[in-house]
Amino acid sequence: MTEPQTPKALTRRRLLTASAGAAAALGAAGFPVLATGSPAISHGKLRAEPLVPARNRGIILYSVRDRISAAPDDSGIPYGFERVLARLAEIGYKEIEFAGYNQHTSILGRQITPAEIRKILDDNGLVASGTHTQINAATFEQQLDIAQTLGMKHIGTGSDPTGSAYRADWDAAADLWNELGRAARKRGLKLYTHNHDAAYGFLLDAGPLDANGKPTRSTGTRKLEYFFTKADPRYVFFEMDIYWAYVARFKHHTYTDAWGRSKSDLFDPILTVVPRTDRFPLFHAKDGDKQPTQANGYVMTPLGDGDINFQQFFEEIGKQDYHHASWEQDTAPGGTANPGQSLNFAEVSYRNLSELTIYRR
């Protein structure tokens, strides 16, 4: 067995370092710029509170999918829902976002049921915060049944509403999501979509048409931000994957306008959330090490091991009691060489998330 990767400690300097560029952008946009750091603590003027309340710290099970799906073994590493959820509760997580409802059938001699998973949640003091499932009209009521059995308040997907670059397709997606969002609301749930970087790329909505009659250039409107204007805020909500939002900042910053000129527009994840913070009840707290030579500009790491400034992000968007942060790292599983890696990463990431602090009067 190889030695597990050891994430870097989330030092006080790294914890409190804020991006001057992002702060300047917030100020220029007319939003309050909060001071990060704790200079007044020594004067006894402020009290320290967790930036992400303990009850709102979660994990999406995709990060530990290798252990959820593992067959029973004698390694001592938890496997299946009962053992893995117990370990996550022991670490400190309070919320679970699902990425499927199956485990290895050899554990029970059959597949586990949603009702049995709910009992495991309850036994461990855990709450189901949401899910990444397929969102379509044909199976939506069935998915709502499962969500209610598990006690969820949110139901969502890990996919963008559409992968298209054209307005008409985003309009059609908004019509569907508004309809499904109304159905979810009737049953006490919020419907949400989770972004990848492509959702913050630019629409093709201007300029000459191609052979199929489609626009080939852009007005500079970003796809998901256009969707914000078409999706009904009463019924459709969003889960920002913070890592992919910063990848979008790295990748999607130029477009060709209607006259063929290259234009620049720097995407800012914080400025996307702040004007509509109530539409983002959920976030994926996924970290990345800045690697400008890589296609995405970042490489995924355990939370606290990378360069994304979660202190500034969660402080600036405000409403700490409303927002839920689920740790995710797509690359956490260590495979047969290091089967305990994903749970080890879950532990260090929880610790670093819990150390984020805000100071109030």
Place of tokens 């995924």: 300
Q: What is the pLDDT along the chain (361 residues), one digit of tens a residue?
A: 333 444 444 433 343 343 444 455 555 555 444 444 444 444 467 889 999 999 999 999 999 999 999 999 989 999 999 999 999 999 999 999 999 999 999 999 999 999 999 999 999 999 999 999 999 999 999 999 999 999 999 999 999 999 999 999 999 999 999 999 999 999 999 999 999 999 999 999 999 999 999 999 999 999 999 999 999 999 999 999 999 999 999 999 999 999 999 999 999 999 999 999 999 999 999 999 999 999 999 999 999 999 999 999 999 999 999 999 999 999 999 999 999 999 999 999 999 999 999 998 8
pLDDT of residue 29: 53
- Among candidate residues 51, 38, 43, 6, the one with its CA nearest the CA of residue 353: 51
- Write b or e for each residue in 209-242: b if 16 or more Cβ atoms lie within 10 A of its Cβ, otherwise e: eeeeeebebbbbbbbbebbbebbeeebbbbbbbb
For the record, the structure tokens of 41 come out as 């603590």
**Partners of 262 in the β-ladder:** 256
pTM tops 0.85, yes or no = yes
CA distances from 258 to 103, 144, 165 (A): 51, 43, 15
Structural domains in the chain, CATH included, are 50-360 (3.20.20.150)
